[in-house]
Structure 1
Amino acid sequence: MKTKRAFIGLSLAVLLVFGWIAVHAKPDLPPLDDGDLIFQTSTSSQSLAILMATASTYTHMGIIRHRAGQLVVIEAAGRVRETPLDAWIARGLFKRVAIYRDPALTPAQVETVLTSAGGLYGRPYDIFFSFENDAIYCSELPYRAYQAAGIELGRVQTVSELNMDNVAVKSLIRKRWQSHAPCKENGFGFDQCYAAILQQTLITPVSIADDKRLRLVFSNYPL
């Protein structure tokens, strides 16, 4: 636990100290392929909780694709949608991004990944990070899209495996738990609902980034 907290503190310090360098600089990206996976540190209200829970600065991610001569990111944000790559990068903290690629991905698999992701367009964002509903959260999107192509990305974990013992995470859960469908259906109070949430399974951005199939093709993170 202390190691995780030290990593989080160091990562945030480095981002804050060196982040200003990238504020006005557009990343000089290499050629990108359809199906590449892009990660950033989101500036959303839940980003700190995700960072603390996962001990990673990767708090949001999406899938790269070419569309009408430009690069877009397929993402789950508000709803599953396409966002121009430049706008997606500009929205992240200090414009920091990391891009990973599965070098073994075949053209047929790329097509399946994009088609599967496309079938999720319009789905609402899942604030409970659950596989058990129709809503989609950011890392669930590429996980399901690659799964359709026969590839199991990352490692599915229970929520209890994450770093839950911190103010940011607990505050986020306290704000949302009363809207959690299984807890409402069962008439759970906070303690019962929290225990149920801990048993949920999920896939995190950093778990996908750590998959041995993937190769880092670009990063402007300072670490």
Structure 2
Amino acid sequence: MIPIIALDFPSKTEVETFLSPFQGQSLFVKVGMELFYKEGPSIVHYLQEQGHQIFLDLKLHDIPNTVERAMENLGQLGIQMTTLHAAGGTKMMAAAKRGLEKGAKKAGVRPPLLVAITELTSTSQEQMNEEEQVPGRLQDHVLHYASLVENVGLDGVVCSGWEAESIHAHCPKLCTVCPGIRFQPTNDDQVRVLTPTEAKEKGIEYIVVGRPITQAKDPQQAYQNILEA
């Protein structure tokens, strides 16, 4: 199981402050929309210069042609992982994979893992049924998306830890990337959460941890606690 630190900060200045105690360590870090929209590709280059691996989490979701061309640009950045929404459908996912591979080939780098968002960890059963008007159980809906992702040939899915075991059983080719990792229950916007120990027991390949590390009094110790767990 590999922990990924979510750098959910508004700008590079806060990232530099947070990473300063980790000087000399090679981390796997997530750059999301907030940070990327502020700093652009330069934040990716900065983190690579510091020796870190990058999960660029932009959750693309658009018509296939637009996503393919966007992924071609992302494929040239030398990142290790990126995302799109499975809700965009199989044509969009296939186009994304083509674009990513084309961009990586153009830049002479290895294509990053391409993983698809199933349902956000902030989504509850009630929200899916009542607001999204999707009937049935949330877990069944996630498994349906996972099957589409596997059939298209993507590398994995982003899901909550609650669905990881079922995905491994039904879609053995996929890796699972799970946010919503907490040391204890919280009142924040994550609904479907697990502890690091529970995540390991479920065979999850990657866990994404943000606030439990970035907002800790001692982020280095919090990160170490994740590794030990």
On whether the aligned pair clears a TM of 0.5, the verdict is no
Which bin holds the TM-score, normalised by the shorter protein? under 0.3
The structure showing larger relative contact order (alpha-carbon pairs under 8 Å, at least 6 residues apart) is: 1
TM-score normalised per structure 1: 0.27
TM-score normalised per structure 2: 0.26
